[in-house]
Structure 1
């Protein structure tokens, strides 16, 4: 399985040049084959900010890039938000607003949760929830299955609850039962990882992991969290046959660059193929 880097909330227009240089240097050393940018690529959706964002993307190491819009990538002008909400995003990164990657070992499905009529809040529609669930169910059990949204589907603190994705609980339940392992997000500039069974979830399958990223390069950091990004290492199995996924958080330190700060080995729900092997061995 390829190495996956998860960046979010670059907010070009508020980027710190030294942090941009450091993250590019770090990513070229790590050489992830897949890089996911989970929204808020720019600060005010200005043409100059998109040009700087495009220059950054062009300097990333070779590989697959999945770029998702966020609420800050919508123009501030109300008329433009209605008539041409993501025009500059499309002109910069192409027409695909929900990119995906499907390999024998890895499935990543991005979901556009921005809405021109909402200011900063995100929403996932019933149609999107169903389409993503169908895509997850179609994948082989050996895949690591990842869904990406901009606004988080679950938050770690009550004070962040207003920023949670609208219909997030419904989406989590559907995607968990369809086979999702990780749901990546950003938006609130706070990195965390949560095992979630989802509200009203049925018994049986284990939790889905909600993995949120901080702001990658912007000066708009929270006092409790600086610049960071996540690194997702290949799916592997324990001696007992458990599916495991290692997620690392890399934090920025002035003068030192990005270094691994926390390493989490996440136990994932068993896939159908693994369950079959267990039954056969029993």
Structure 2
């Protein structure tokens, strides 16, 4: 079995120390094979915030960490840096790669940089990115769980969240579904949910699941929802996938299981 820890929107600079400690403890207990942080690593893309994030990731008990940027990881108030070196502090702390990938016998994970310095909070996926990801998905091994990680969501539940949808999301969903994607991981709106996109989009003819994560450790929770992360458990022999949502419980200062979903894969 392969275990993936999916966290998002850590927003270091607004982190809650007791929640961050609890998340490190969860990872120590579970020992995931891979951790995916789907953007908004920091609150304001400052060097000190990235330094704290780097220390946190170094302490996270996962042998591989795959991180993509979110809109908060580009300077907001430093206009010069935003225009001429938007990923400077990010790359200094986390490496030069903005669209990292991972592949082993159990999983193929493709990170996509959906941030655009000129779009402020909005995200975008280009035709070139959609095609690149599609070709990589088509090359997946038969038993691999095929995962795409973006920051902004490709599907939202609420009318008020539609402004947060990834530009180009419909084209991406249809192309990646046809290419064999199983899961699309996202964050950005600080709400955890799982939906089968086959049921939401007419041209999607096989199960493809959006798995959205809440905010992992930040005090910037939404609508009173607790901090949360996802544990994705995959059994390649049966092509069986289970997602466990783990919520922070203030009474015990631990992350505890809040929901379990079995996802049908084609």
Q: Determine if the TM-score, normalized by the shorter chain, exceeds 0.5.
A: yes
Aligned residue-pair number = 263
Specify which structure has the bigger relative contact order, considering alpha-carbon pairs within 8 angstroms and separated by 6 or more residues: 2
Question: Could you say which residue in structure 1 is the equivalent of 2:50?
Answer: 50
Q: Classify the secondary structure of the residue corresponding to 1:10.
A: coil
Q: Classify the secondary structure of the residue corresponding to 1:3.
A: strand
Deviation at residue 79 of structure 1 after TM alignment: 2.0
Question: Could you say which residue in structure 2 is the equivalent of 1:268?
Answer: 265
Deviation at residue 237 of structure 1 after TM alignment: 6.2
Deviation at residue 32 of structure 1 after TM alignment: 0.4
Cα RMSD of the aligned pairs, angstroms, is 1.3
Q: Distance in 2 between matches of 1:244 and 1:62?
A: 22
Question: Could you say which residue in structure 2 is the equivalent of 1:27?
Answer: 27
Deviation at residue 236 of structure 1 after TM alignment: 5.0
Q: Distance in 2 between matches of 1:140 and 1:58?
A: 30
Aligned: 1:81 with 2:82: yes
Q: Distance in 1 between matches of 2:55 and 2:225?
A: 26
Contact preservation (8 Å) 2:240, 2:265? yes
Contact preservation (8 Å) 1:173, 1:200? no
Contact preservation (8 Å) 2:108, 2:146? yes
Q: Distance in 2 between matches of 1:86 and 1:74?
A: 6
Q: Distance in 2 between matches of 1:184 and 1:51?
A: 25
Contact preservation (8 Å) 1:189, 1:214? yes
- Alignment deviations for residues 140-196 of structure 1 (CA, whole Å, 9 cap, x no partner): 221110000000111122211100100011100000000000000000000000100
Which of 245, 249, 254 in structure 1 is aligned with 2:250? 254
- Could you state the TM-score of these two structures normalised by the residue count of structure 1? 0.90
> Unpaired runs of 5+ in structure 1?
270-282
Q: Distance in 2 between matches of 1:90 and 1:202?
A: 36
Which of structure 1's runs of 4+ aligned residues deviate more than 2 A?
Answer: 197-200, 235-238
- Could you state the TM-score of these two structures normalised by the residue count of structure 2? 0.96
Q: Classify the secondary structure of the residue corresponding to 1:268.
A: coil
